[in-house]
């Protein structure tokens, strides 16, 4: 399975609703993590997706959706990784990489990568060189934290919406949040209600 391009140009950020320089980046809200029958099912996925759905309208067109896509041919340390998870390379499971119905693409910018972290120079360009991103999605202890740390290192302010994220366990979720909080003020932990209140006040 081949990965799609990292970022699609989409519409101008200037066309978004509230303009405060912030983008909502929803991490890997895909069937492969959201369906109980999947080997990569993330408990509390539904809660994270519900929080993401609440946040989305407040950002207008400044929304990016990411997907983790398995590579056609793994290399390096990914080889033993996929030996542990052969289902992820099976073409019969291709549809599991689709976004869940609750999070349709619509006019969001799409970022597909075969790596845990979704931040890169291409991501920055696809989001019009943002000064701040608001992160939600799954899993807190894998793809969310990998994205947050890379974006922060790249000089982007990162706000992680704790109640719109989910980890492989409640303990792992909490540990990942605690680690990210150590990176303040580059990274801060927030909530759905806090973000929505700020957006409403700025509107």
pLDDT range class, residue 16, cuts 50, 70, 90: very low
What domains can you pick out in the chain, each with its CATH number? 13-202 (3.40.50.850)
Helix or strand holding residue 109 (H, E):
strand 109-113
CA distance 110 to 91: 22
- CA end-to-end span of the chain, whole Å? 42
- The tens digit of pLDDT for each residue in 19-78 reads 457 999 999 999 999 999 999 999 999 999 999 999 999 999 999 999 999 999 999 999
- The tens digit of pLDDT for each residue in 96-146 reads 999 999 999 999 999 999 999 999 999 999 999 999 999 999 999 999 999
Contact by Cβ (8 Å): 10, 107:
yes
The predicted pLDDT at position 203 comes to 73
The predicted pLDDT at position 167 comes to 98
CA distance 5 to 15: 23
Shortest CA distance to 156 belongs to which of 181, 134, 182?
134
Entry pTM:
0.89
């Amino acid at each position: 399975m081949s990965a799609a391009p990292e970022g699609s140009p989409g519409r101008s950020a200037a066309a978004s609703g509230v303009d405060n320089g912030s983008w909502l980046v929803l991490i890997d809200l895909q069937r492969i993590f959201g369906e109980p029958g999947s080997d990569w099912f993330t408990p509390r996925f539904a809660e994270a997706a519900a929080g993401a759905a609440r946040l989305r309208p407040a950002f207008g067109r400044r929304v990016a959706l990411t997907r983790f896509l398995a590579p056609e041919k793994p290399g390096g340390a990914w080889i033993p990784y996929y030996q542990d998870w052969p289902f992820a390379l099976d073409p019969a499971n291709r549809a599991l990489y689709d976004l869940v119905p609750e999070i349709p693409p619509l006019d969001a910018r799409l970022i597909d990568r075969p790596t845990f972290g979704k931040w890169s120079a291409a991501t920055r360009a696809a989001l019009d060189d943002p000064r701040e991103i608001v992160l939600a999605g799954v899993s807190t202890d894998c793809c969310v934290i990998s994205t947050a740390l890379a974006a922060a290192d790249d000089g982007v302010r990162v706000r992680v919406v704790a109640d719109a994220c989910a980890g492989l366990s409640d303990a792992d979720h909490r540990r990942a949040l605690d680690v990210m909080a150590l990176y303040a003020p580059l990274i801060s932990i927030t909530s759905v209600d806090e973000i929505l209140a700020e957006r409403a006040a700025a509107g």
